[in-house]
Amino acid sequence: MTVWKPHKLGEFLSEACEPITVNDADTYRQVTVAMRGRGVRLRQTIKGAEIKTKSQYLAKAGQFIYSRIDARNGAMGLVPKELDGALVTGDFPTFTLDNRIIHPRFFAYLATREAFIEKCREASRGVTNRKRLKGPQLLSIEVELPELPEQERLAAQLDALSVRLAEARRLHDRA
């Protein structure tokens, strides 16, 4: 039987704040994070001259990213390889994962679970629809994790299941 132990996110996530000043002459990719666990996506490719806020941050492949405003709606995930070096604003903090404690794919699946999103919702502060999840509150969230080999095994099973589901959807759409 696998034992799952409690861990605060701060035990394996560390903020990765890499500021950049936008140059008007350069072209940049900007990131957005879709709600309900639908992933990290390209928002747009844009000239620096069109970006009003010149202080931005770099997102790196494999980092965990979330929307401060919409974390309570599941807007979080891992930055994909194709968005390495894209820009984010301060409302989309990025974090490096400690691979000695957490398997990145396992954490990506964990972050889409309703129980995890509910913890983010509870930790968000503010009024009405402007509730924000700030870094200290995020890092204090507690989750239960199995040992790393079990995380790897579960992530591989979930990856295989995702491939099969995508193929079933493709076949359904074709039919």
- Name the residue among 14, 143, 144, 129 with its Cα closest to residue 68: 129
Residue 30 pairs with which residues in a beta bridge?
Answer: 44, 87
Question: Are residues 85 and 59 in contact, defined by beta-carbon separation less than 8 angstroms?
Answer: yes
With H, G, I as helix, E, B as strand and everything else as coil, classify residue 98. Answer: coil
Residue 87 β-bridge partners: 30, 58
Q: Of 82, 66, 2, 60, which is closest to residue 34 (Cα–Cα)?
A: 66
Domain containing 98 equals 5-174
- pLDDT one digit per residue (tens) for the chain, 175 residues: 778 999 999 999 999 989 999 999 999 999 999 998 888 999 999 999 999 999 999 999 999 999 998 998 999 999 999 999 999 999 999 999 999 999 999 999 999 999 999 999 889 888 766 788 988 899 999 999 999 999 999 999 998 988 888 888 888 888 8
pTM of the model: 0.88
Q: Residue 51 carries which side chain, given as an amino acid letter?
A: I
User: What percentage of the chain has pLDDT greater than the value 70?
Assistant: 98
Partner residues linked to 95 by β-bridges:
15, 64
123-149 pLDDT per residue, tens? 988 876 678 898 889 999 999 999 999
**Tally of domains in the chain:** 1
